[in-house]
């Protein structure tokens, strides 16, 4: 564990939410590069006279801002001594930052804004190759989000693997990078409107969201009901601090029941709404097609009836003669 983190003063809301010079995460660099590249892509489209939805830009840039904040505010330094701070980082990266970045559809922007010559042509080939690769097909399979949730919550916290990682000098940084990457992978099947090899059905999305909600609920309940600290690296009582390891653990468990669940409930509502709209649109199309088929059938019957009437008149004329 970082020695500077051990000498931190007692946490307060201003210290947790203000810029911390006590180590800045590489997430800040990733956020800055991502925002710059995205803006360059939008500017290129604008100069070419092509429109780009402002909502997507806002979502992506807000995601970059929160990504940078997660890695440079005081909560980043306190995450090595407070399990609640670390869990706050993880929840923010997985359920807030990753969906916002995915909603920005950077893949679609890349395909539209990248020039089709020289280095741009090479970049497009690499992007399309990665999109169509076997690895991409596996990562967007239904159930991957569930697997990630199980690995990163029960697998990381209930085995106390998190304590082993934060004790390594760069363990906290590596953990954040892994959480961020896996969060994006888990968000793509649920949120993405980019062209993906295998889009997840609405039923699959619904199952993933429900299972993730249950995983969060179980972990939060374990933290709240545990009679002893679960994390050895965070089982340290510090003089002058108003929060002890057990209280810190209770705060973390409460966040799992509130902060972690709210974004998933939003996903659940959006998924059900989109599913209902899709079914209504399909039903409307079927009704229209049925009406067209019925009209064509009626015209066919009318033509047959008209033909029979003509034949009857012809036969009647011959009989009179």
226-285 pLDDT, tens per residue?
Answer: 989 999 999 988 877 878 899 999 999 999 988 988 888 887 887 788 778 877 777 767
Q: What is the pTM of this model?
A: 0.81
Cβ-based neighbours of 271, under 8 Å, separated by 6 or more:
190, 202, 205, 206, 209
Spatial CA neighbour of 204 closest among 153, 265, 140: 140
> Phi/psi at 162 (nearest 5 deg)?
-60, -35
| 3 state SS of 73 | strand
* Stretch 209-231: mean pLDDT: 90
Distances (CA, A) of 21 to 43, 76, 170, 284: 33, 10, 17, 59
85-122 pLDDT, tens per residue?
Answer: 999 999 999 989 999 999 999 988 888 888 777 777 77
Distances (CA, A) of 192 to 16, 128, 180: 32, 16, 16
| 3 state SS of 19 | strand
Task: Say how far apart CA 121 and CA 116 lie, in whole Å.
Answer: 5
Q: Is 51 exposed, middle or buried (0-12, 13-18, 19+ CB in 10 A)?
A: exposed
Alpha helices in 132-241 (DSSP H): 134-139, 144-152, 161-167, 171-191, 202-225
* Stretch 150-163: mean pLDDT: 88
Q: Are 245 and 235 in contact (CB under 8 A)?
A: yes
Paired with 19 in beta bridges are 73
Q: What percent of the chain has pLDDT over 90?
A: 35
Cβ-based neighbours of 8, under 8 Å, separated by 6 or more:
22, 77, 78, 81
Name the helix (H) or strand (E) containing 56. helix 54-72
pLDDT of 3 reads: 46
Paired with 95 in beta bridges are none
């Amino acid at each position: 564990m970082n020695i500077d983190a051990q000498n931190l003063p007692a946490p307060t809301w201003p210290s947790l939410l203000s810029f911390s010079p006590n180590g800045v995460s590489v997430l800040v660099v990733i956020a800055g590069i991502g925002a710059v590249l995205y803006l360059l892509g939008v500017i290129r489209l604008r100069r070419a006279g092509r429109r780009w939805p402002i909502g997507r830009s806002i979502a992506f840039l807000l995601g970059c801002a929160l990504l940078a904040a997660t890695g440079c505010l005081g909560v980043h330094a306190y995450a090595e001594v407070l399990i609640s701070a670390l869990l706050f980082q993880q929840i923010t990266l997985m359920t807030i930052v990753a969906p916002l970045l995915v909603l920005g559809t950077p893949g679609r922007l890349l395909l539209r804004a990248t020039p089709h010559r020289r280095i741009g042509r090479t970049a497009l080939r690499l992007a399309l190759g990665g999109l169509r690769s076997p690895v991409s097909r596996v990562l967007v399979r239904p159930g991957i989000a569930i697997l990630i949730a199980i690995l990163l919550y029960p697998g990381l916290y209930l085995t106390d693997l998190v304590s082993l990682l934060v004790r390594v000098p760069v363990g906290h940084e590596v953990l954040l990078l892994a959480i961020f990457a896996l969060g994006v992978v888990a968000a793509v099947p649920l949120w993405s409107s980019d062209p993906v090899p295998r889009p997840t059905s609405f039923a699959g999305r619904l199952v993933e969201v429900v299972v993730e909600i249950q995983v969060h609920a179980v972990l939060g309940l374990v933290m709240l009901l545990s009679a002893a600290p679960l994390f050895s690296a965070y089982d340290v009582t510090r003089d002058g601090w108003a929060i002890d390891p057990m209280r810190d653990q209770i705060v973390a468990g409460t966040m799992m029941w509130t902060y972690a669940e709210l974004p998933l409930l939003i996903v659940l509502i959006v998924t059900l709404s989109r599913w209902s709209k899709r079914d209504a649109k399909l039903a409307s199309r079927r009704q229209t097609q049925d009406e067209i088929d019925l009209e064509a059938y009626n015209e066919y019957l009318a033509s047959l009836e008209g033909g029979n009437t003509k034949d009857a008149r012809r036969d009647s004329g011959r009989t009179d003669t």
